[in-house]
Amino acid sequence: GEDVEQSLFLSVREGDSSVINCTYTDSSSTYLYWYKQEPGAGLQLLTYIFSNMDMKQDQRLTVLLNKKDKHLSLRIADTQTGDSAIYFCAESTPSASKIIFGSGTRLSIRP
Amino acid sequence: DAMVIQNPRYQVTQFGKPVTLSCSQTLNHNVMYWYQQKSSQAPKLLFHYYDKDFNNEADTPDNFQSRRPNTSFCFLDIRSPGLGDAAMYLCATSLIRTDTQYFGPGTRLTVL
């Protein structure tokens, strides 16, 4: 079945890079997403990557996709206190009528 | 700006008292979703509408119902809320089922 896994916690020092990792099981995934959720708020779409790409960069965000290993990562350069949030990885597939979310990674920033 | 709006942002109800949560969208998307999210867990899909076609998830309790009177609005009805139904309820929309989903800010439901 479809499954998306992430580590639960990540702590980084302000100014360093953060790398959040995700693995998924469905090789027919078409889109892979990163959503950000701040406390008490909804999910904000950060970025997404189509499955035929291996990298996407958008300002401080870099998404890497290793389709062979079914591994997705989100790198946040120069991490700031405003980046503190839960980051959800998600996938969609042609056969599914929904997207599958990981359990979320809580990113905390140390001064 | 096109967006997904949820009202109210905070809702308090009593145990067993029916409650309705509202979602509206200006994106003119075909699909509208309702998710339940507890304690920073992953959102759990309850059901979705593709246009007027209702699609229930197999494990969604009968206590949860939904209505979509037109393209723009979708409602979540909880017929008899229990303490375990206290959660954040998120509405999302997408153009088609496998397309990117855009979320509203959520309604936090408290059950007393």
Three-class DSSP labels, chain B = CCCEEEECCEEEECCCCCEEEEEEECCCCCEEEEEEECCCCCCEEEEEEECCEEEECCCCCCCEEEECCCCCEEEEEECCCCHHHCEEEEEEEECCCCCCCEECCCEEEEEC
**Average pLDDT rounded to a whole number, residues A12-36:** 92
Best A30, A38, A89, A99 residue to mutate vs chain B (most B CBs within 10 Å): A99
User: Above 70 in pLDDT, residue B1?
Assistant: no
Q: Calculate how close chain B gets to A88, using CA atoms only, in Å.
A: 8
Please tell me if residue B95 touches chain A, with a CB cutoff of 8 Å: no
Looking at residue B39, its pLDDT comes to 84
Range from A27-31, A40-44, B28-32, B61-65 carrying the lowest mean pLDDT: A27-31
Please tell me if residue B32 touches chain A, with a CB cutoff of 8 Å: no
Say which of B41, B100, B108 has its CB closest to residue A48.
B100
DSSP-assigned letter for residue A63: E
- How many A-B residue pairs are in contact by the CB < 8 A criterion? 56
Please tell me if residue A98 touches chain B, with a CB cutoff of 8 Å: yes
User: Above 60 in pLDDT, residue A1?
Assistant: no
Q: What percent of chain B has pLDDT over 70?
A: 97
**Average pLDDT rounded to a whole number, residues B13-26:** 96
For A2, the token pair is 């479809």
User: Above 90 in pLDDT, residue A22?
Assistant: yes
pLDDT digits (tens, 9 = 90+) for B35-78: 999 987 899 999 999 999 999 999 999 999 999 999 999 999 99
